[in-house]
């Protein structure tokens, strides 16, 4: 991506073109019959929900997914008119907004389905919904048996079941049977509903990893990629097929150097003096800290890219600042950029690599990039 710099202390460059390319990679992997539901929850994993949604819609997406009613309302207010699925359901105080903004809720219990039916009746506006089955992740979704589900669907007369879904807990893990068991459970429920005359348009269970490793069964008519749109697929466990997605990170994260200094052997760096210089060193103080989303766990173990080389983090990451070793990059000056995520020449670091060093996951790194980090769209 760009080598240009921008006048921000800490900023994320987001490539619209890369998000579009990732979307098309997912599209191609799924084939023309499946609808892609672009997952833009949590501010599009830190990439900016409105901007990312506009890119996806411009590329042909007809469905977006968010976690909350509030996130859906924000997209509506930004002028997005495509279908928006609210994946974690709705609470009583969110009913009005759900209806007013024509959001499509995921219903994850039969009690919620009854509530939705009441709501649809009283607002005299039919409401479409997707029903979520808990097929063995034991998070959201109904565990009721098919007879109860059918009765609930049929008595919810003003609410239209347009989607049936479940969520997989271990799609990238080939050392367990959990995915097969979940898929079988879900297939059984769908078959029984179909036999009873219930035909939702959208049937879906696959997020990024299920798509990437080809778990998306042919009878599924929708898939819900998030991570892949931003350029990531989780590494597999066990004997996995090769991923069928070729996606690349869309986000580059940069920060300015605020100071460069020489320290003598034995100097202690940062809070707690947890780094002691083993010899004279040149260090730089970077304008990004844990308040920007740099994990505190990277203290004395993480790296950033400075002048095209990986530069170790020295001492503790503080709230607004991180200190790095630039002994190998004597030309760096205050005002220059370093790269936290991205590529400079041959050196690169992505969210998965940073996550490994911080003992976390790439999702958490991306979502952790703070609101005060300026987003720049290129």
Ligand X SMILES: *Cc1c(COP(=O)(O)O)cnc(C)c1O
- Interface residue list for ligand X (CB under 6 A): 39, 41, 87, 167, 207-209, 224-228
Which helix (H) or strand (E) element contains residue 297? none
Catalytic pick from 41, 132, 256, 303? Answer: 41
Using an 8 Å Cβ cutoff, are 116 and 159 in contact? Answer: yes
Active site residue 271: yes
Using an 8 Å Cβ cutoff, are 321 and 289 in contact? Answer: yes
Pick between residue 206 and residue 339 the one whose CB is nearest to ligand X: 206
Q: How far is the CB of 311 from ligand X (least distance, A)?
A: 30
Which residue's beta carbon is nearest to the bound ligand X?
226
Q: How far is the CB of 122 from ligand X (least distance, A)?
A: 28
DSSP for 114-146, written as a single string: HHHHHHHHHTTS-EEEEEEB-SSS-SSSB---H
Active site residue 377: no
Which residues are paired to 83 by β-bridges? Answer: 63
For 94, phi and psi rounded to 5 degrees? -100, -5
- Residue 22: which of 234, 252, 253, 227 has the closest Cα? 227
CA atoms within 13 A on the CB side of 5: 13
Query: How far apart, in whole angstroms, are the C-alpha atoms of residue 23 and residue 155?
Result: 38
Pick between residue 226 and residue 368 the one whose CB is nearest to ligand X: 226
Q: How far is the CB of 202 from ligand X (least distance, A)?
A: 13
Catalytic pick from 23, 125, 129, 271? Answer: 271
Q: How far is the CB of 42 from ligand X (least distance, A)?
A: 8
Q: How far is the CB of 49 from ligand X (least distance, A)?
A: 13
Using an 8 Å Cβ cutoff, are 342 and 253 in contact? Answer: yes
Q: From the centroid of its chain, how far is CA 187?
A: 26
Pick between residue 5 and residue 176 the one whose CB is nearest to ligand X: 176
Pick between residue 318 and residue 360 the one whose CB is nearest to ligand X: 360
- Residue 288: which of 219, 345, 370 has the closest Cα? 370
Pick between residue 213 and residue 290 the one whose CB is nearest to ligand X: 213
Q: How far is the CB of 247 from ligand X (least distance, A)?
A: 11
How far is the CA of 188 from the CAs of 165, 179, 210, 349, in angstroms? Answer: 13, 14, 19, 43
Using an 8 Å Cβ cutoff, are 19 and 13 in contact? Answer: no
Pick between residue 41 and residue 375 the one whose CB is nearest to ligand X: 41
Catalytic residue numbers, as ranges? 41, 271
């Amino acid at each position: 991506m760009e080598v240009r710099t921008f006048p921000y202390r800490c900023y994320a460059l987001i490539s619209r073109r890369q998000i579009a390319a990732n979307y098309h990679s997912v599209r191609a992997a799924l084939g023309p019959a499946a609808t892609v539901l672009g997952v833009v929850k949590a501010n599009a994993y830190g990439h900016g929900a409105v901007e990312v949604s506009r890119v996806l819609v411009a590329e042909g997406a007809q469905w977006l997914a968010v976690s909350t009613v509030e996130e859906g309302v924000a997209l509506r207010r930004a002028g997005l008119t495509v279908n928006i699925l609210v994946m974690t359901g709705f609470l009583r105080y969110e009913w009005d907004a759900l209806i007013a903004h024509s959001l499509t809720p995921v219903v994850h219990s039969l009690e919620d389905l009854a509530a939705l039916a009441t709501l649809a009746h009283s607002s005299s506006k039919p409401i479409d919904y997707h029903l979520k089955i808990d097929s063995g992740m034991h998070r959201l979704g109904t565990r009721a048996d098919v007879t109860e589900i059918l009765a609930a669907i049929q008595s919810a007369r003003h609410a239209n079941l347009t989607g049936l879904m479940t969520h997989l807990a271990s799609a990238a893990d080939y050392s367990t049977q959990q995915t097969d068991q979940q898929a079988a459970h879900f297939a059984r429920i769908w078959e029984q509903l179909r036999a009873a005359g219930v035909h939702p348009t959208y049937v879906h269970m696959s997020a990024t990893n299920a798509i990437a490793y080809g778990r998306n069964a042919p009878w599924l008519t929708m898939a819900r990629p998030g991570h892949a749109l931003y350029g990531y697929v989780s590494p597999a466990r066990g004997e996995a097929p090769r991923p069928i997605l070729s996606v690349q990170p869309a986000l580059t994260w940069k920060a300015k150097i605020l100071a460069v200094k020489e320290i003598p052997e034995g100097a202690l760096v940062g809070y707690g003096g947890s780094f002691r210089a083993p010899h004279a060193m040149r260090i730089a103080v970077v304008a990004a800290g844990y308040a920007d989303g740099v994990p505190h766990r990277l203290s004395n173990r993480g790296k950033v890219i400075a002048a095209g080389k990986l530069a170790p983090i020295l001492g503790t990451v503080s709230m607004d600042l991180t200190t790095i070793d630039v002994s190998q990059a004597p030309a760096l000056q205050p005002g220059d950029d370093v790269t936290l995520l991205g590529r400079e020449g041959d050196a690169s670091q992505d969210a998965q690599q940073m996550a490994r060093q911080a003992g976390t996951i790439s999702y958490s790194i991306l979502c952790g990039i703070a609101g005060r980090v300026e987003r720049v769209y290129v």
